[in-house]
């Protein structure tokens, strides 16, 4: 079996959960089958069964200043990748950026098409801020691919429910749940603190940690709003970079500066920190905060839990299947606005986040208990080896139903 994994992100160009997912899934699959990763960027590598092939969007689009440029770039690269996919047995796409590659390969070559949904465009209305009118195009590409795919993988039961609600035409039998995973050897509690000192974090003082992109979806501005309800001496570490737009970058900067007026101990790490550094940050935080307003899974919570950090997270989407309330952390409910998906009462959400953060800031013994329970949970339910086995079983079932046609 030769599997083609299609992704925008692949190391060293990873900025979100989908890229993390493909990095580890490809590595684990390659222990069992041949894997070709087709990604964005000039990459070409071979290591045993794992082959990485990168590409760039059409150069003719490079000078465009329009927000819709990204959607056109995605389609251009999907088209350009067709010539390389002729020898693939199963094609497996991740995110809308590459979904049309799967759709086209299915039509042109008769290849079984698997699509993993890491998020759904219709549930991310704020993407119009990032993509402009290209949001209509990204939504069309996602819809077209999902309805055509031979199998759709949802990363949580909550995501599966969202898929069936947003795309009621799809046969529920084609939608399968396979969770995200975690490398349990790599992500574990570290005693080192050099990365903390490098970034200006005082290891002797308890701190609240956020790790993620600056995007509406991840809700980091709601955490910044919550800082004013924390004790003034609280250390807050924002490992937050890669803003979606200049507008949200400016909003984030303004909110952080406002918060610093009363809370001086805010450390903002604006670059995407290296993985060993992030592991140190998880390992020594008093509490990790995931304030996402939309989260099909939330792999960052797995990372934190693997490093024995207690978690305070939004009670939404796949987070409900990862974080156990009052066992591995606290879940904070909010009522979402029907139009935007954001909390309808953002002030209340900020206060509620702060309330749970304060509970763990004041009770390190409870935090340690939650952290140890979180580590046990990821060991029991979220190993990549089990996830790779489930994925290959799905591939095999499709190949049995749909033998490849000679060309």
166 φ, ψ to 5°?
A: -75, -35
Q: What is the pTM of this model?
A: 0.87
pLDDT(407) > 70: no
Locate CATH 3.40.50.2000 in the chain: 2-181+383-401, 194-381
> Using an 8 Å Cβ cutoff, are 280 and 196 in contact?
yes
Residue 240 confidence (pLDDT)? 95
Residue 244 confidence (pLDDT)? 86
pLDDT(67) > 60: yes
**At CB < 8 A and 24+ separation, what contacts does 376-380 make?**
377/305, 377/324, 377/327, 377/328, 378/182, 378/184, 378/302, 378/305, 378/306, 379/184
> Using an 8 Å Cβ cutoff, are 322 and 17 in contact?
no
On the CB side of 306, CA atoms within 13 Å amount to 22
As a whole number, mean pLDDT of residues 217-236 equals: 96
pLDDT digits (tens, 9 = 90+) for 288-306: 999 999 999 999 999 999 9
As a whole number, mean pLDDT of residues 136-163 equals: 96
| Higher pLDDT, residue 342 or 74 | 74
Stated length of the chain: 407
> Using an 8 Å Cβ cutoff, are 373 and 354 in contact?
no
Q: How far apart are CA 165 and CA 161, in angstroms?
A: 6
Report domain 194-381's class. alpha beta
> Using an 8 Å Cβ cutoff, are 349 and 343 in contact?
yes
Residue 234 confidence (pLDDT)? 95
The share of the chain scoring above pLDDT 70, in percent, equals: 99
Q: How far apart are CA 91 and CA 93, in angstroms?
A: 7
CA distances from 206 to 242, 255, 352, 358, 385 (A): 26, 22, 20, 11, 35
Helix (H, G, I), strand (E, B) or coil at 7: strand
Q: How far apart are CA 166 and CA 161, in angstroms?
A: 9
As a whole number, mean pLDDT of residues 171-193 equals: 96
Tokens linked to 290: 């995931």
Residue 124 confidence (pLDDT)? 86
The share of the chain scoring above pLDDT 90, in percent, equals: 86
Residue 405 confidence (pLDDT)? 59
Residue 105 confidence (pLDDT)? 96
pLDDT(200) > 80: yes
pLDDT category at 94 given cuts 50, 70, 90 is: very high
Q: What is the four-CA torsion angle of 322, 325, 328, 333, rounded to 10 degrees?
A: 70
Tokens linked to 48: 């045993």
pLDDT category at 28 given cuts 50, 70, 90 is: very high
> Using an 8 Å Cβ cutoff, are 184 and 379 in contact?
yes
pLDDT(339) > 80: no
Q: How far apart are CA 269 and CA 12, in angstroms?
A: 19
Q: How far apart are CA 31 and CA 26, in angstroms?
A: 9
Q: How far apart are CA 288 and CA 296, in angstroms?
A: 18
As a whole number, mean pLDDT of residues 102-109 equals: 96
> Using an 8 Å Cβ cutoff, are 353 and 258 in contact?
no
CA distances from 308 to 99, 188, 235, 325, 374 (A): 35, 7, 19, 15, 6
Report the range out of 55-59, 119-123, 127-131, 307-311 with the highest average pLDDT.
Answer: 307-311
Residue 83 confidence (pLDDT)? 87
Report domain 2-181+383-401's class. alpha beta
Residue 304 confidence (pLDDT)? 98
pLDDT(212) > 60: yes
């Amino acid at each position: 079996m030769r599997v083609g994994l299609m992704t925008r992100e692949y190391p060293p160009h990873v900025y979100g959960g989908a890229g993390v997912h493909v990095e580890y899934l490809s590595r684990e699959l390659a222990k069992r089958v041949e894997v070709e990763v087709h990604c964005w960027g000039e990459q070409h590598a071979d290591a045993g069964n794992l082959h990485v092939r990168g590409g760039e969007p059409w150069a003719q689009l490079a000078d465009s200043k329009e927000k819709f440029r990204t959607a056109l770039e995605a389609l251009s690269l999907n088209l350009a990748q067709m010539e390389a996919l002729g020898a693939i047995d199963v094609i497996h796409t991740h995110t809308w950026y590459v979904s049309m590659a799967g759709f086209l390969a299915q039509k042109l070559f008769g290849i079984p098409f698997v699509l993993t949904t890491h998020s759904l465009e219709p549930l991310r209305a704020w993407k119009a801020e990032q993509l402009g009118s290209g949001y209509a195009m990204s939504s069309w590409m996602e819809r077209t691919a999902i309805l055509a795919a031979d199998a759709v993988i949802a990363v949580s039961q909550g995501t599966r429910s969202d898929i069936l609600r947003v795309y009621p035409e799809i046969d529920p039998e084609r939608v399968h749940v396979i969770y995200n995973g975690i490398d349990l050897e790599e992500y574990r509690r570290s005693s080192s603190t050099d990365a903390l000192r490098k970034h200006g974090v005082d290891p002797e003082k308890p701190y609240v940690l956020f790790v993620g992109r600056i995007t509406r979806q991840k809700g980091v501005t709601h955490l910044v709003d919550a800082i004013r309800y924390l004790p003034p001496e609280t250390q807050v570490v924002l490992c937050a970079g890669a803003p979606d737009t200049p507008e949200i970058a400016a909003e984030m900067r303004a909110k952080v500066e406002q918060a610093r007026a009363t809370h001086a101990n805010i450390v903002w790490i604006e670059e995407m920190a290296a993985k060993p550094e992030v592991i140190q940050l998880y390992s020594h935080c008093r509490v990790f905060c995931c304030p996402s307003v939309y989260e099909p899974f939330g792999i960052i919570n797995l990372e934190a839990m693997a490093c024995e950090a207690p978690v305070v997270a939004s009670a939404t989407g796949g987070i409900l299947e990862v974080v156990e309330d009052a066992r591995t952390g606290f879940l904070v409910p909010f009522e979402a606005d029907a139009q935007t998906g954001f909390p309808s009462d953002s002030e209340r959400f900020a206060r509620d986040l702060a309330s749970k953060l304060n509970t763990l800031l004041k009770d390190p013994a409870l935090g340690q208990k939650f952290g140890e329970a979180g580590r046990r949970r990821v060991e029991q339910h979220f190993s990549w080896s089990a996830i790779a086995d489930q994925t290959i079983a799905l591939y095999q079932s499709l190949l049995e139903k749909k033998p490849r046609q000679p060309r």
